[in-house]
């Protein structure tokens, strides 16, 4: 997206769980062809870990200004570097659309230019953002960065753009890898592979020794786990010399080398936990790949254990013997998570643990053989999305929409600058369960006002297309504001037009099913997505949890199934237990249910949603004398429900100017009614 809250856009479907990946059998993998290993600053070839890097002269380089510094004829890989004084790129002719590994090597030489002061950006094909404002400051230690990307273009470009001073690179590796190493069917379901980049943060050989590129078919480096153990002496190391039994229906040998699977750590005692901690990026989504191979047991049923990520159960009662049917047969589990707690040094952490199973009382053991941690990065926001966001936000101003302050487009950089939202996203706070019910209602009301303004108060309605909790930002006073308009569509110009025909874009778990079926985006598509947000606010759980029972995977389906039984209270965030007044909860559940109707025609407008959320807020704030039909509570069968709404109120208003307050939406009409009027209006079967 190229904006200050860049990471907010990228946190799509955070905290998703993935089932075991299924990799079909294929021919044995050989070295990629073609592959490029480039010694960027040198005119001579070099060798690193038994791999030959070719000189810079054999690769296509753009006509931008660049020079070689260091020992240009040295056969040592880091003795020279290529320096760029302007935007430049290397071009590699790889005519295939597979997933590619891109590795970048940096050593800041200081002889001719002090490269330790250079600050620059790196991208792939000006589409995949690899490094932003990057600098390498230690002239004694090379920095290596690795990315997995999916580039459809026949020619692959690695682009360097100086930000302050110069840009430079010591060496580059580009080669294709089998798609099923990362982009499995489950992964494709939740993330668009062609629009994502994975940055490798850690590759850990648990209980083992370092694995160098020459010992790995994908030329990867694996490091020991000793420096990341946080649980003390609670594990045993195991090593085997027996062959590893790969099941081609589970995974292939390219997933990880034998030297990862022939070592492991197991729990030192049945009641102990083993915990590892890794520093990671804050406000980012990470993919964790956990590798398992039972080399410790004498029977297939000896292992059963829980896996925890950031102190939450990721995989419960994991039994390797039920997933593979031979000893020493590897399998893996994928899991996506945000950064967890802060370390004592103030760094964000990802915490991984294995421990005793939940539902088995007798002594069992647990293992871990390897761990990979990737940071999910979205590709560059395309120019159309960049232009759309500027166009949309420059023409509107509302208290509950994030304000655009300015933008910059220079070289490949597209930057949007917004007002500072100090309290991050609604999703962040729901994950931490640190909002009261009153705060959650106020945030939902404000966000609904912002969407109502977009739908009804402009000459041509604006359809957001990515309404979700991570796109609702909070300021110092916890005012909710809708953000991220890069995917927005404008309806028009004819007043008779009510939808936009467009490809399905948005975030998994929030999609309007009617929009998916018809490819017609309407204001009611936003209403459906907002209904999912309402349930997030109530339940504080991810919208999709793949590791649960089928009827519990989807938040909307799960919560509505309880609501229809009159038991919505069983779904609420435990931190809210005893805080929500029964009538407020019942009203809130009715609103969410209407928003989530299968067909758009049956859903309320956002104006209706605003009004009824205000009513739920009043029910929370006010103790009312109970009428027979007025009271309800999901746990009291003897009390009657709130009245059935014969017609949800319909709000129409005309706004002639864009003002920076709620009057831009005709004040959502809520200020034009007293509390008693609001109640009396709702108590009639005809609404207002």
Give catalytic residues, as residue numbers.
466
Give the neighbor-by-neighbor strand order of the sheet with 312-318. Answer: 274-279, 349-355, 305-309, 312-318
Among candidate residues 345, 288, 297, 341, the one with its CA nearest the CA of residue 320: 297
The answer to whether 328 touches 245, Cβ cutoff 8 Å, is yes
Neighbours of 511 (CB within 10 A): 16
Partners of 324 in beta bridges: none
The answer to whether 161 touches 412, Cβ cutoff 8 Å, is yes
Phi and psi at 584, nearest 5°, equal -65, -45
Alpha helices in 504-601 (DSSP H): 513-518, 523-539, 555-564, 582-595
The C-alpha atoms of residue 14 and residue 10 are separated, in whole angstroms, by: 9
Q: Which two structure tokens, joined as six digits, stand for 165?
A: 């001073």
DSSP code per residue over 235-253: EEEEE--SPP---TTT--T
Residues 6+ positions from 249 with CB-CB distance below 8 Å: 22, 23, 24, 25
Task: Evaluate the omega torsion of the peptide bond into residue 493 and state whether it is cis, within 30 degrees of 0.
Answer: yes
The C-alpha atoms of residue 507 and residue 42 are separated, in whole angstroms, by: 45
Among candidate residues 135, 131, 43, the one with its CA nearest the CA of residue 81: 43
DSSP 3-state assignment of 613? helix
DSSP 3-state assignment of 233? coil
Among candidate residues 678, 688, 668, the one with its CA nearest the CA of residue 449: 668
Q: Which two structure tokens, joined as six digits, stand for 226?
A: 């000793």
Among candidate residues 197, 61, 200, the one with its CA nearest the CA of residue 129: 197
The C-alpha atoms of residue 397 and residue 148 are separated, in whole angstroms, by: 39
The C-alpha atoms of residue 97 and residue 76 are separated, in whole angstroms, by: 32
DSSP code per residue over 353-421: EEE--SS--S--B-EE-EEEEEEEEEPPPPHHHHHHHHHHHHT---TTBPPEEEEEEETTEEEEEE---
The C-alpha atoms of residue 650 and residue 318 are separated, in whole angstroms, by: 51
User: 533 — alpha (psi -120 to 50), left (phi > 0) or beta?
Assistant: alpha
Rounded to the nearest 5 percent, the helix, strand and coil shares of the chain are 25, 30, 45
Q: Which two structure tokens, joined as six digits, stand for 228?
A: 């990341």
Among candidate residues 97, 198, 191, the one with its CA nearest the CA of residue 505: 191
DSSP code per residue over 261-280: HTEEEEESSTT--EEEEEE-
């Amino acid at each position: 997206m190229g904006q200050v809250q860049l990471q907010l856009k990228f946190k799509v479907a955070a905290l998703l769980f993935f089932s075991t990946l299924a990799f079909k059998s294929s021919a044995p993998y050989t070295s990629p062809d073609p592959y490029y290993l480039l010694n960027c600053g040198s005119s001579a070839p070099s060798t690193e870990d038994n791999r030959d890097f070719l000189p810079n002269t054999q690769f296509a380089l753009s006509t931008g200004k660049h020079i070689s510094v260091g020992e240009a004829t040295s056969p040592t890989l880091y003795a020279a570097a290529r320096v760029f004084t302007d935007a430049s790129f290397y071009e590699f002719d790889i005519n295939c659309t597979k997933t590619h590994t891109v590795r970048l090597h940096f050593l800041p030489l200081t002889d001719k230019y002090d490269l330790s002061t250079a600050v620059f950006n790196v991208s792939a094909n000006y589409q995949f953002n690899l490094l932003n404002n990057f600098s390498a400051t230690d002239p004694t230690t090379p920095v290596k960065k690795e990315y997995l990307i999916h580039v459809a273009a026949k020619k692959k470009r690695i682009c360097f753009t100086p930000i302050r001073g110069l840009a430079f690179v010591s060496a580059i590796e580009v080669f294709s890898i089998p798609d099923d190493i990362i982009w499995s069917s489950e992964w494709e379901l939740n993330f668009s592979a062609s629009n994502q980049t994975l940055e490798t943060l850690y590759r850990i050989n648990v209980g083992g020794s370092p694995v160098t590129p020459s010992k790995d078919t994908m030329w990867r480096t694996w490091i020991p786990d000793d420096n990341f153990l946080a649980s003390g002496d609670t594990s045993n190391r195991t090593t085997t010399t027996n062959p590893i039994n790969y099941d081609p229906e589970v995974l292939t040998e390219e997933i990880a080398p034998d030297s990862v699977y022939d070592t492991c750590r197991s729990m030192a005692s049945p009641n102990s936990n083993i915990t590892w901690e890794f520093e990671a990026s804050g406000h980012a989504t990470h993919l964790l790949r956990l590798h398992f191979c039972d080399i410790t047991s004498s029977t297939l049923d000896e292992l059963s254990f829980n896996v925890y990520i950031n102190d939450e159960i990721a995989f419960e009662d994991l039994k390797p013997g039920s997933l593979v049917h031979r000893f020493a047969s590897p399998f893996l589990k994928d899991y996506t998570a945000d950064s967890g707690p802060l370390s004592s040094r103030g760094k964000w952490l990802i915490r991984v643990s294995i421990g005793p199973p939940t539902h088995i009382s007798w002594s069992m053991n647990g293992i871990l053989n390897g761990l990979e941690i990737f940071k999910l990065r979205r590709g560059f926001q395309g120019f159309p999305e960049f232009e759309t966001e500027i166009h949309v936000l420059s023409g509107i101003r509302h208290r509950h929409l994030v304000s655009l302050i300015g933008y910059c487009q220079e070289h490949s950089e597209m930057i949007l600058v917004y007002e500072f939202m100090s309290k991050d996203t609604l999703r962040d706070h729901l994950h931490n369960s640190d909002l009261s019910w009153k705060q959650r209602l106020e945030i939902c009301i404000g966000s609904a006002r912002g969407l109502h303004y977009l739908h009804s108060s402009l000459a041509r309605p604006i359809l957001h297309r990515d309404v979700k909790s991570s796109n609702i930002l909070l300021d110092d006073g916890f005012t909710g504001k809708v953000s991220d308009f890069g995917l927005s569509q404008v309806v028009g110009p004819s007043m008779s037009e009510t939808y936009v025909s467009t490809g399905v874009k948005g975030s998994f778990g929030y999609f309007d099913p009617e929009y998916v079926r018809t490819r017609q985006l309407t204001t009611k598509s936003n209403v459906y997505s907002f209904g999912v947000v309402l349930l997030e606010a109530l339940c504080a759980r991810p919208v999709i949890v793949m590791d649960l029972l089928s009827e519990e995977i989807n938040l909307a389906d799960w919560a509505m199934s309880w609501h229809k039984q009159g038991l919505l209270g069983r779904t609420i965030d435990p931190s809210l237990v005893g805080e929500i007044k029964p009538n407020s909860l019942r009203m809130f559940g009715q609103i969410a249910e209407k928003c989530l109707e299968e067909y758009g025609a049956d859903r309320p407008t956002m104006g209706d949603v605003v009004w009824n959320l205000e009513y739920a807020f009043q029910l929370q704030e006010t103790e009312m004398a109970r009428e027979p039909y007025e009271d309800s509570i999901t746990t009291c069968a003897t009390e009657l429900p709130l009245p059935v709404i014969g017609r949800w109120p319909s709000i129409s208003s005309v706004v002639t100017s864009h003002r920076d307050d709620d009057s831009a939406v005709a004040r959502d009409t809520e200020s034009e009614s007293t509390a008693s009027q609001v109640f009396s209006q709702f108590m009639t079967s005809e609404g207002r």
